[in-house]
Amino acid sequence: MTKILILGATSHISHYLIPDLLKLPDIQLTLFARNATQRLKGYRAYSQITLFDGDWDHPDDLKAAIKSQEIVYLATGHFKQANKNVVQAMTENHVSRLIVAGGLGIYDEVVGKFGEWNARMMGDYTSIKAAAAIIDHSALDYTFLRMSWLYDQDGNTAYEIVPQGQPMKGTQVTRQAIAKLVTDIVRNPKLYNKQSIGVQEPHTEWDKPSFY
C-alpha cells in the first residue's frame, strides 16, 4: 500500500490527478485542503481516501497530515513560507519523496520571443525564485515541475521533459498531462528524483501559448 498526500487537493491539476491515482493498485490517498470534508465531499465514500481539513500555512496541520505518508504532492511551489513549512514537516516526519507543481522561468531558462512574452506576463520573479530555492536546497528527494502555461484538453496527456540547464521553448502543456506525469512518478518514485524539470507539450515552440 502506497500512502500519498495531496496538498492542495482542490487545485485544477488535482481535479485530474486524483482520478488518475485511484486507477493504481494499492493506493491510499489523503486529500488535504481548507474545508476538504465539504469541498471534496464527493470522495467521502471512497475507502482508499481520507479527507483532511488543513492549511499549509499552519505547521501543525502539515505535521499531522504528513505523518506516515510515503509521497507528498504539493499543488503549488510559489509560496516561500508554505514551502518552508512543508520541508520542515516532511523532515521531522522522515518523509522524503516530494513532487512540486511549479512554474517555468525560475532559472531564466525561457528563451526567444516566448521568453520575452512570458517575462512581460509574469513580471517580478523574485518571490517565486526564493520559494523554489527552498525546495532546491532541501535534503528531500524532490521533483520540481517547471510547467509551461497550463490549459485543459481532455485526452491530451502529451508531455516532454526539459532537463535543468536546457532552454525551455514549449509554450504550453495540459493539466491532464501534468496529472499523468505525477502518476508516472508515483508508479516509479525514482523517476526524476532530486531534479527540477521543465515540462512542456511537444511541438508547441511558438511565440506564446495558443490560447492567448
Please give the DSSP secondary-structure letter assigned to residue 110.
Answer: B
Report the amino acid identity of residue 25: P
Sign of torsion, CA 202 99 111 171? positive
User: What value does the mean pLDDT of the chain take?
Assistant: 97
Give me the domains of the chain, ranges plus CATH numbers.
2-200 (3.40.50.720)
CB 205 within 8 A of CB 171: yes
Tell me the residue type at 204. T
100, β-bridge pairs: 74, 144
Which residues is 58 bridged to in the sheet? none
Q: How far from chain centre, in Å, is Cα 159?
A: 15
Average pLDDT over residues 159-167: 97
Cα distances from 157 to residues 18, 32, 77, 209, in angstroms, run 15, 25, 22, 17
Q: Is 147 helix (H, G, I), strand (E, B) or coil?
A: strand
pLDDT, position 122: 92
pLDDT of res. 211? 96
Residue 119, C-alpha cell as written in the block: 517575462
Confidence of residue 181 (pLDDT cuts 50, 70, 90): very high
pLDDT tens sequence across 43-91: 999 999 999 999 999 999 999 999 999 999 999 999 999 999 999 999 9
pTM of the model: 0.97
Q: Cell numbers of 126, please?
A: 523574485
What pLDDT is stored for residue 60 in this prediction? 97
What pLDDT shows up at residue 94? Answer: 98
Give the Cα separation of 148 and 109 in Å (integer).
11
Helices (H), the chain: 12-22, 36-39, 59-66, 80-92, 112-122, 126-136, 175-187
Backbone angles phi, psi at 124, to 5 degrees: -70, 120
Contact present, 149 and 173 (Cβ < 8 Å): yes
Note the pLDDT tens digit of each residue in 80-98.
999 999 999 999 999 999 9
